[in-house]
Structure 1
Amino acid sequence: MAKYVPEIKGILKRHTIQLPEVIREASGIRIFGKRLKSFVFTTDVAVIKNTNADAVIAVYPFTPQPIITHSIILSADIPVFCGVGGGIAPGKRVVNLALDAEFKGVMGVVVNSNTTNEVIRDIRDTIDIPIIVTIISEYENVKERIESGATIINVSGADKTNKIVRQIRSEYPTFPIIATGGITDESIRETIKAGANAITFTPPTASEILSEIMDRFREKYERDRHRQDKSEN
């Protein structure tokens, strides 16, 4: 018998980004005593402040900067996992960014798929928080990533994601895996069945949400005007 869970909603928090409920079917990953199942993929502080995700995974396509990490941490009331580069940035800078992120209070750091194993080892020797290593291809050497110090594997393989997850899970039955699950309940459930412990979800942007709200307002004004015209006639 399912347990009844009381739900409390405030007026200001009523309009938030609700992640798909199917994500709760995942086992989750327990990190420092917190069980995390859903990760919202964004750096938008407005989105971060208005979501029911368990955690934030903040990775962006620019050179990581401490001020960005600081801003995200200040706005978040859930755990933050931030990107520290690893691709273009030199290894020493990546290690320093990871250490700075730990000092600022992030729960874990994320490195790019083209980060070298040497840099991952240097990060592991420097910080005491999880290192999430991104895997984007079925041809990557996951074994070397794990041996170098990866704490969690983050699979982002587009349409090959489930195949990659199954491949990793068959070789490492208990290793923590986060994966992108798409936007439908069916695709998310398939990713969980493939072996993902947690799901990253990309929410609509603030501009997309605002556009939908404006469309509803316009429709309301149009309906009100039609009613007014009818009453006058």
Structure 2
Amino acid sequence: MNDLVHIPFRGREVLAVEDHGKPFIVLKPALEHIGLDYKSQHEKLRRKSWACMVLRTMQLPGDSQRREHATVDVRTFLMLLATIDENRVSPEAKNVLVAYQNEIADVIEKYFTQGYAFNPRKRAAAIGPMTVTFDDAMALYFQDHGIDYATGFFTQGLRLAGYLRQGGCVPRKKKRKFFFFNGTSWEIRSWALPLLLGEFEEVLRTFQPYPWAQPRLDDGLAERVLPMKRGES
């Protein structure tokens, strides 16, 4: 199915299509809504091994004919947005960028599972929550920053930031909205990825004055230097 779907978002519409029960965002109008340059972001995605991008022929609103347009799944779109520093865009673009990072996955998931155009009993099972593994998060970080941190280093950073409990990858009770349990392990909800990567980088910046402690984050030594946030358990 390639019927164009119009999803209301922030006073405009996100254009999407469904492909075997999975939503794909039409890339150009979404990026233009945020205020990002389509050509440069499209070229960036073409170089990423994790990107799932499909060219489709369709007629967009306001166009007089059918043209070929790039579409991406929601996970790819969010991972692309995670590579964009909100402090390096205009104030107008920053507000929309942050809204997309925090809300778009939930908006699309709810539309495709609960929207009037689809049967929620069928779509809920087909689409499911949109998540990223901890390993995927570090692979993304490496591709965009050139620094290869071990996954354990990332999870320990999230413990220090107050998102995970001590031992394993179990979120603290008040932070579970950022994660999803797949039946065997916890994963990161796609919309929360930019936030958690930002928290991880904040932990790294905090430890810059302590080079003797930073390489040993994974053995618990750093906890005696940086206290947990708000003392959650």
Q: In proportion to residue count, which structure has more helix?
A: 2
Compute the TM-score of the two structures, normalised by the length of structure 1. 0.28
Bigger-Rg structure (1/2): 1
> Higher relative CO (CA 8 A, sep ≥ 6), structure 1 or 2?
1
Compute the TM-score of the two structures, normalised by the length of structure 2. 0.28
